[in-house]
Amino acid sequence: MQRNKIKPDTKIPRHIAIIMDGNGRWAKKRFMPRSFGHQKGMERMIGLMERAFRLGVSYVTVYALSTENLKRPQEELEGLYNLIRKHFKENMQRVLRYGVRLKVIGAVELLPDDVQAILRQAEAETAHFEGKGVNIALCYGARAEIVRAVNCAVEKGEKVTEESFSALLYTQGQPDPDLIIRTGKEIRLSNFLLWQSAYAELYFTDKMFPEFSDRDLEKSIVWFSGRTRRFGKTDEQL
């Protein structure tokens, strides 16, 4: 299967965003608890980030927990927080050695205090890195992000432009995602990066997140590389 191999002329997206869906179903199929799926998902998330940076991607955003996911049973949420408590630091170190700035995007204040502290510390330790970044979307909702930005603009009493509005979003200063990948068979965005995704290429796969391999990531990049991004223009104008 050499067909999808990354060739030197493959266009590498600057920013890849991933909706990491399907952890629960993947575990259920194996008669395992959902928490097992989340654990495998976290391991896969780290592996994919490493692969992406090795391939020359500059920004990776991962959707780990949505605002709406906060309505899930407390037990499942506690399981996710425990994953951060126990494994976040050692796992992220594998990624951060690529000289990457970590940002947690979303309503972080809704997380337990000790979890917030772990995340804030990792952010502070990497705040000096420029040009490469990882965004972890936690308690994130795109509508909430937009409303927050609107309120910010209203408080300043200034009219906004597309540029000044973008600067009020969590992703301020970063390129918009070029490629958005969603695993887990669903064809929807589930309140993810609604503003930033205006011209993203959307890649949907039936694979559940824990089984989305490095090869699958490469396949999605090869697919991306074959797209013609017109941004409204005609083919002749490109």
User: Mind telling me the catalytic residues?
Assistant: 21, 69
Cβ atoms 191, 215 nearer than 8 A: no
- Please report where in the chains the tokens 């694979």 appear, as a residue: 207
| Contact pattern from residue 184 through residue 223 relative to ligand IPE, giving x for each residue in contact according to CB under 6 A and a dash for the rest | x-x-x-x---------------------------------
Residue of 16, 19, 46, 52 interacting with ligand IPE (CB under 6 A): 19
Question: Of 14-22, 41-49, 163-171, 200-208, which part binds Mg ion (CB under 5 A)?
Answer: 14-22
Stretch that binds ligand IPE, among 52-60, 64-72, 92-100, 105-113 (CB under 6 A): 64-72
Q: Which is nearer to ligand IPE, 94 or 188 (CB)?
A: 188
Q: Are 23 and 40 in contact (CB under 8 A)?
A: yes
Kindly state the smallest distance separating residue 66's Cβ from ligand IPE, in Å. Answer: 4
Q: Rounded to whole angstroms, how far apart are CA atoms 67 and 70?
A: 6
Which residue has the CB atom at the shortest distance from ligand IPE? 24
Q: Which is nearer to ligand IPE, 158 or 186 (CB)?
A: 186
d(CA 184, CA 203): 11
Instruction: Tell me how far CA of residue 152 lies from CA of 63, 167, 168, 198, 220, in angstroms.
Output: 24, 11, 7, 22, 36
> Distance between alpha carbon 211 and the CA centroid of its chain, in Å?
17
Map the footprint of Mg ion across residues 180-219, applying CB under 5 A.
none
CB 159 → ligand IPE: shortest distance, Å? 33
**Angle in degrees, CA 182, 45, 51, rounded to 5:** 95
Q: Is 63 in the site for ligand IPE (CB under 6 A)?
A: yes
How far is the CA of 12 from the CAs of 15, 80, 217, in angstroms?
9, 31, 11
Q: Binders of Mg ion among 16-45, rule CB under 5 A?
A: 21
- How far apart are CB 184 and Mg ion at their closest, in Å? 6
Residue 101 DSSP label? E
Q: Which residues bind ligand IPE (CB under 6 A)?
A: 19-25, 63-66, 69, 184, 186, 188, 190
